[in-house]
Amino acid sequence: MGSGMAKNLAIKSTKPVYIYDVNPQAIESLRKEFPQLKAAKSALEVAQATSTVITMLPGTEYVERVYEEIEETLEDKVWVDSSTIDTMAAQALAKRVESQGGWMLDAPVSGGVTGAQAGTLTFMVGAPNQEVFQRVSPVLYWMGKNVTYCGQNGTGQIAKVCNNMLLSIHMLGVSEAMLLGTKLGMDPNLLTSILNTSTGKCWSSEICNPYPGVIATAPASREYQGGFSNKLMAKDLRLAMKAASDVGFSPPLGTLSNKVYQTLDSDKEFNKLDFSSVFKVKIKEK
């Protein structure tokens, strides 16, 4: 995700773009394609060199580590965190950044690796106020097609966990529909075409269809490599279940989906595969 976002910044930004990744090969690969990108040796170096910092990280603890590294540089800076993290953690971090004289926005994304590469991501943004949101939104439009102000800090994370809970449910439904149809003798390409011109159409059927070969660009057509991993989906569903518990709500379908993806996360065969690989599990079920 971060790689695709950085590529679009390299193409569209009017100012120098500094990049950092704990994996040096990721930096090297990006700079081979976009030599105008400036390689930093740490998150601190990025923060020192820029007025706007953007992070895309696997979870809450990683974002908190970055804060600890860059906190003394945050005066008059904007920090946009596009990671999917705990809502209360996002709110607490925003307060800490404010105490340093800066502004933090939680701006998780939807659209997957394909959207990151194409610059068509959807950003769900929680910000201290509209003024700060307006200040940073042009940068987000370099990486995305839809940029929505959700409200105060934390509301971007609320929107994201709701979206990903629904996405997981959609993927389970599309997997079962594709498996049922093909077991009954339907051609998978024809069935996909019908679903995508009918009321069952959704992102999981049209863009990330789990049946191998029906969508050439989908992870299913490259043995479920790349894309949005089961590990990350399981993490997002844990966040959704925590948020639901915090308000005394037990979502039946979300709970079922969470159980499925926690099982995939605990399986070394599956945890790094795209979340559409749940289709492979459905095939094995009797």
CATH number of the domain bearing residue 136: 3.40.50.720
Task: Kindly indicate the confidence band of residue 283, based on its pLDDT and cuts at 50, 70 and 90.
Answer: confident
**pTM, entire model:** 0.91
Q: Tally the domains of the chain.
A: 2
pLDDT of residue 286 exceeding 70: no
Task: Kindly state the tokens that stand for 89.
Answer: 């953690």
Is there a single domain that holds both residue 34 and residue 103? yes
Task: Kindly indicate the confidence band of residue 281, based on its pLDDT and cuts at 50, 70 and 90.
Answer: confident
* 109-110 and 52-55 strand pairing: unpaired
Structural domain harbouring 55 = 2-153
Is there a single domain that holds both residue 256 and residue 167? yes
pLDDT of residue 48 exceeding 70: yes
Residue where a domain stops, chosen among 88, 121, 153: 153
Is there a single domain that holds both residue 22 and residue 125? yes
Q: What would the pLDDT profile of 155-167 be if each residue is shown by its tens digit?
A: 999 999 999 999 9
Q: What would the pLDDT profile of 35-44 be if each residue is shown by its tens digit?
A: 999 999 999 9
User: From CA 169, how far away is CA 251, in angstroms rounded?
Assistant: 11
Q: What percent of the chain has pLDDT over 70?
A: 99
Q: What would the pLDDT profile of 126-150 be if each residue is shown by its tens digit?
A: 999 999 999 999 999 999 999 999 9
pLDDT of residue 62 exceeding 90: yes
User: From CA 53, how far away is CA 48, in angstroms rounded?
Assistant: 9
Q: Any idea which residues carry the catalytic annotation?
A: 160
Is there a single domain that holds both residue 146 and residue 50? yes
